[in-house]
A = this chain, B = another copy of it.
Amino acid sequence: MPAAHLIAFDADDTLWSTQPHFDQVEARLLEIIAHCGEPAHLTEQLNAVQRRNMQLFGYGAKSFMLSMIETAIQLTDGAVTGHDIQQIIDLGKDLLRYPIEPLPGVVEVLTELRRRGHRLLVLTKGDLLDQESKLARSGLGDLFDHVEIVSEKDEATYQRLLSRHAARPEYFVMIGNSLKSDIIPVARLGFRAVHVPYHANWIFERVEPEQLAGLDFHTVQDLREVLDYLL
């Protein structure tokens, strides 16, 4: 890899952990509305509300807060108290300000890729301000040349990205934990993608095995293996 590449990193659950924090908040919501049914039923309702709202609300903590509130209203037939809803809002606010720690190997890998002369980019979807704030809290901001926060990571997004940053496909690499957002659209375009699985997965990012059929991409168990792969 002699030429300078444009290397894009997903943020949530690639650079720092996110899903476990959302899972904790969801667990607290289930406690608040525990009197409304079995946990599996409550989760199912929450997912149904989220699925319905996603097109209008997009991704991120504020969307999640609003969907949690709607779920609590629906499951209690409107009897949920203002006190409980305030608790839900406060849980959501914590999601917008928890301390961000880079995952193991992140600083090392970014520093080394920069040293080798590559351009590094964060490519993330979600709330604009929240994603910017997480990057700032992570302390990783200075290691990146560019930050792109988008509403969706699909093939059109990746094509726009390459054109905007004047990157040739053969000198582009996407690295991330989400098969749906970081790997499949990139591999479909014939660009290089590196999958770094994370132990927690968001239900709306899960993919069926057949969606991977015919696609080429590389998988590492630890982000640090990227350094050898991109040698």
Contacts and interface: CB of A to CB of B under 8 A. Distances in A.
A11 to B, nearest CB: 14
B76 A82 contact: yes
B85 A69 contact: yes
Interface string A53-88: 000111100110110011011001111111101100
Nearest to A54: B129
A66 B76 CA distance: 20
Interface residues of A, number: 35
Nearest to A59: B129
Nearest to A96: B56
A220 interface: no
Contacts of A81: 78-79
Contact of A97 (B56, B65, B76, B78): B56
A65 B129 CA distance: 16
Contacts of A66: 62, 65-66, 89, 92
Given A56-B97, A128-B150, 4 more contacts: A58-B129, A70-B89, A73-B83, A79-B82
22 contacts: A56-B93, A57-B129, A58-B127, A58-B128, A58-B129, A62-B62, A62-B63, A62-B66, A66-B66, A66-B89, A69-B85, A72-B82, A73-B85, A76-B82, A77-B82, A78-B81, A79-B81, A79-B82, A82-B85, A128-B128, A129-B151, A132-B151
